[in-house]
Structure 1
């Protein structure tokens, strides 16, 4: 089938160009093979590259013999999925499996491919199964199969990654779908190198080691320069699936951007003319990063406006109405962690899609995997973190883990997946039966996380016994009076449960006359 190539618009007027439109092995992706571009192929799936409305998401993930999972399947909401489980219950394993599933796309980019073996199925990832003799045996193949969307109109796309051997010389093997996904990444890279304004999807993993790694907050930026490769749009895929993304990468880029913007300002002032288009582009990107960070940080903390400051030892600083201006390295763990998280997302969005300007964080599609999204945050901030992330990056799909009932109380149960065992002892992912959105944290803790809000202190059994006696009207028996005295000494009269029991006793006495 012949069709006018969408690259034709960038050719000199009058140039006639016909290109072959065909379907790739990757389940329906249309590619345009351009004869005037050395035979390179370009994606035909996103005809309007300026919209930022491209659909990119994971729909389901199936695991076989991967770490703790023998057979396991989970579905994801198109916008937000929150994973909960007990410690060691498999939350992080699901995120790591998603990393493996996303790896074929990322390795299609030269710089993305530097993530390396950490985003594949390692020998130690193969499940060990116990046997009656007491030994543990590895179970192969170890398989991760995914279904999702990678362009606007295609659906039901499947690909698979597996390890079939424990030999050190072997690697993860992809099926035809995985290989086509890699080719798709390469085609996007070719588009970028042809100066096409194709909108690139963001893919990123933010693990629990994202706070500061190898002193990444404390390095002064006096000698900050960018490596040649870091000028490329595709450098945003560098280490995007690594366990610990480097804040230094963002710092170097942001400071370079800030200095370039200041230089453009000075040149415009000296010449008495408007700032150059390049300078205005720098200004928009800086504004986009600031706005994204402020969406998550300003309301709950007062801190805002991430800037480069030459007067603060050439570091990044934040502003506060009461505490003034401080370097980022002097802020709390919760603040630094959130800054690092949002900065990583905003940096990659702006780097991938500079043609979107200040709307890059709002319009860049993609998939973000975040482990312990509430890490180091005060409960008040935990109640807003997920909503703020969605507001700052509305085109992204977020798959996150948490242990916080405060986080769960701000989302609907349709967005939650509880990882646990079914009646046969198999690990499954299910939606909670109880309501979560707008519910008190104590209610979510009990009904969804299956945890008693009352902690297991030494006095708990006695308090339960005393509650039973009072509810049955036996509060005036000697043993109840003695127990009341003992528990009051331990918990004080201000304890809410004791106050409730005393009110109940007063009502019962009044009714008795």
Structure 2
């Protein structure tokens, strides 16, 4: 499943906003904007609309998140959100014609409409989900026919995300492994502390240890240990199979994915002595997880939570993160990240979850400057404008080259440069002319570059 188009009418500060991703070949969409420009509103309302898929998949009578009065534009009497997604060709066509051919680029559309509460009457929320219910039914039938078929992941991580504690006590809570519905959130999220991830991690960690201990006991059993090679081969085959299957596949996926997104991170594990605590290997050293900086704790938990969802939605897959598909929204993905991580985080997320569609917001444009495969939009005056960073990079490169030439000329002896005054002035005029074509962010980058190369 991939988001193709969404239309907001009278939602928050957007009277009429259309977002078209149908022509984008990139699985990573970045929305840039200043504070209070509406980035959070866009991502939050996309998640609210997509939650109707999660709710209907659980039960066709279950409702998703509705439009609240507080999310309606000024004093408007109604608001609506219309969304269009594409789905895999294996699901065929949603048309009524029973003989319709499978649609390679199949589309499904649904809409939420809300009228405001007023003294004259109570407002109504009216979802139009006929096509969505057909799509959900197709997914349910296909997952029964093909256990390896991937159910789409829908996840939203608000900007208010933090890890104050890593609770691994496992206080006899309900299992987090039984149903794929644990992978979905059906309520509006204003913040997250990743408690579901830590509960899930403790459960799969205990199951892995129990299964490993059982196999080790079988291996050390004297009645089986000294028998023929056939029995030994059978035992080792069982060890290998157990290592590849659940819950081992969950922890294996977590280890590899975490290292892929954050190369400085190693294995996440639980230490039982001298006391129970969560540990992690950081730059080759084993340290308590809670001793990491808040930024690192958040990103380890966020990646881990995506792994949790992928494992729940793909219970038969040996490589759930590589095969999981769906739509993931991260608000202010660059929050608390240093420059090195901002330059690489999008590429690493795509590499770790190659079939996921990411829709993220960011404050700093440098998060996409070194990634030409990202679809980038600027949110300005309640409208989205697509940015072509390849063109901007060419402009900046021309200016940088002009500055370097000017600096080299100034560094020559006075008599050597006297006859070349005109070219230097011409170069400066070109620089000023090009600088006038840049936006505010690009001018700031140019100023930083001038400071570096100017003595």
TM-score (norm 1): 0.66
Matched, 1:432 2:369: no
Q: Deviations over 1:63-92 (max 9, x none)?
A: 110000111111223511100112111111
Instruction: Give the match for residue 82 of structure 2.
Output: 145
Instruction: Give the match for residue 396 of structure 1.
Output: 356
Query: Which of residues 103, 108, 112 in structure 2 aligns to 1:161?
Result: 112
> 1:343 Cα deviation (Å)?
1.1
TM-score (norm 2): 0.74
> 1:293 Cα deviation (Å)?
1.0
Q: Deviations over 1:305-358 (max 9, x none)?
A: 122222374333210345x2122221011211211221111110011102112x
Matched, 1:60 2:9: no
Q: Give matches, 1:71-470, under 5 Å.
A: 71-76=16-21, 77=24, 78-110=26-58, 119-128=65-74, 138-152=75-89, 153-166=104-117, 170-175=123-128, 178-182=129-133, 184-185=135-136, 188=139, 196-212=147-163, 215=164, 217-219=165-167, 221-228=168-175, 230-238=177-185, 242-272=189-219, 273=235, 274-275=238-239, 277=241, 280-281=244-245, 282-298=247-263, 302-311=264-273, 313-321=275-283, 324-357=285-318, 359-412=319-372, 415-421=375-381, 427-435=382-390, 447=438, 450=441, 452-453=443-444
CA contact (8 A) 1:58 1:147 kept: yes
CA contact (8 A) 1:108 1:184 kept: no
> 1:436 Cα deviation (Å)?
7.0
SS at match of 2:56: coil
CA contact (8 A) 1:62 1:144 kept: yes
Q: Distance in 2 between matches of 1:240 and 1:195?
A: 30
Instruction: Give the match for residue 484 of structure 1.
Output: none
Gaps of 5+ in 2: 90-103, 220-234, 401-434
Q: Distance in 2 between matches of 1:113 and 1:296?
A: 38
Q: Distance in 2 between matches of 1:270 and 1:307?
A: 22
SS at match of 2:444: coil
Instruction: Give the match for residue 464 of structure 1.
Output: none
Q: Which has the higher contact order (CA 8 A, sep 6+)?
A: 2
Aligned length: 381
> 1:183 Cα deviation (Å)?
5.2
Instruction: Give the match for residue 37 of structure 1.
Output: none
SS at match of 2:281: strand
> 1:271 Cα deviation (Å)?
1.0
CA contact (8 A) 1:58 1:148 kept: yes
Q: Distance in 1 between matches of 2:197 and 2:331?
A: 20
Q: Deviations over 1:404-458 (max 9, x none)?
A: 232021223861011114xxxxx32111255379788999x994554642899xx
SS at match of 1:250: helix
Q: Distance in 2 between matches of 1:278 and 1:113?
A: 39
Matched, 1:70 2:15: yes
Q: Distance in 2 between matches of 1:240 and 1:143?
A: 19
Q: Distance in 1 between matches of 2:283 and 2:314?
A: 33
> 1:499 Cα deviation (Å)?
8.1
Gaps of 5+ in 1: 1-55, 129-137, 422-426, 457-494, 503-513
